[in-house]
Amino acid sequence: MTPLLLMLGYPAPVAIGTDLLYAAITKAGGALSYNRTGNVDWSIVRLLALGSVPTAILVHVAISETSFQDSPKFGELLTFSLGIMLIITAIILIFKNKLREKALENKPPLLMGFIQRKRPGLTFAMGIVLGICVTLSSVGAGAFAAAILLTIYSQTRTVKIIGSDIAHAVPLTFIAGLGYLFAGYVDLTLLLSLLIGSLPAIAFGSRISNRVPEKTLQRLLTIILLGLGVYYIIFNKLH
């Protein structure tokens, strides 16, 4: 969503701030659906949120206290962060199946043994990383987070990892989005338009996705994310 809003001419802070609140609202419905079927591990959600939510607040406090958000450098930082996260997400999509397979096979043994012993700490640390990445780019609380969680919790069912990832994304994107709202960087009219437009689009997209092979959708998404990521990093340097 954020890259599309940037292409439509919205400033980076407005695109990211609006997208964060849009994500919080839309993901809330998904989190409720997963929770009803028992596919949310709240212990994982709590550990992630303990790291991510305070970090998101601290990022906003740091930005506001230094008046950095009023300088042109702020938009450049957000655009560059977006490009980096899009590329990382694309790479994760390419290798996520191999990461999952290695985790299930417990290879390499020493590494997997370390991961199993340090799961709570690693999950908390991952929350901190997500707090920074999502606040500065709006990207991370999706394919990126799910792929890492699938490696850390290799014995947990995939559907439960996805449900936990979505449930955690709700408070993180909401708090991160509020920071932009208080700073005056959220377009409420745009937010309402996105919510209204997404309802029929979701129904249409679900029909199309059933007719297109999963691998084709994943490859298409990977190409788009990778291309946009490279574009925004180059665009950031040129400007």
Global pTM reads 0.83
Cα distances from 70 to residues 6, 194, 235, in angstroms, run: 18, 26, 20
Contact assessment for residue 79 and residue 12, using Cβ atoms and an 8 Å cutoff: yes
Strands (E), 104-207: none
Residues 62-97: tens digit of each pLDDT:
888 777 777 778 888 888 888 888 888 888 878 776
CA 201 from centroid of its chain's CA atoms: 20
| Residue 93, pLDDT score | 79
Q: Of 144, 171, 9, nearest to 85 (Cα)? A: 144
- Side-chain half-sphere CA neighbours of 233 within 13 A: 13
* Block residue for tokens 């209204």: 196
Contact assessment for residue 26 and residue 198, using Cβ atoms and an 8 Å cutoff: yes
| Residue 88, pLDDT score | 87
Q: Which residues of the chain have pLDDT under 50?
A: 110
| Residue 201, pLDDT score | 79
| Residue 154, pLDDT score | 79
CA 157 from centroid of its chain's CA atoms: 20
| Residue 233, pLDDT score | 80
Angle between the 158-182 and 119-137 helix axes, to the nearest 10 degrees?
40
| Residue 148, pLDDT score | 85
| Residue 10, pLDDT score | 92
What span, in angstroms and rounded, lies between the C-alpha atoms of 34 and 48? 17
What span, in angstroms and rounded, lies between the C-alpha atoms of 47 and 28? 19
Q: Count of H helices and E strands in the chain?
A: 10, 0
Please give the backbone phi and psi of residue 67, each rounded to the nearest 5 degrees, phi first.
60, 20
What span, in angstroms and rounded, lies between the C-alpha atoms of 97 and 150? 10
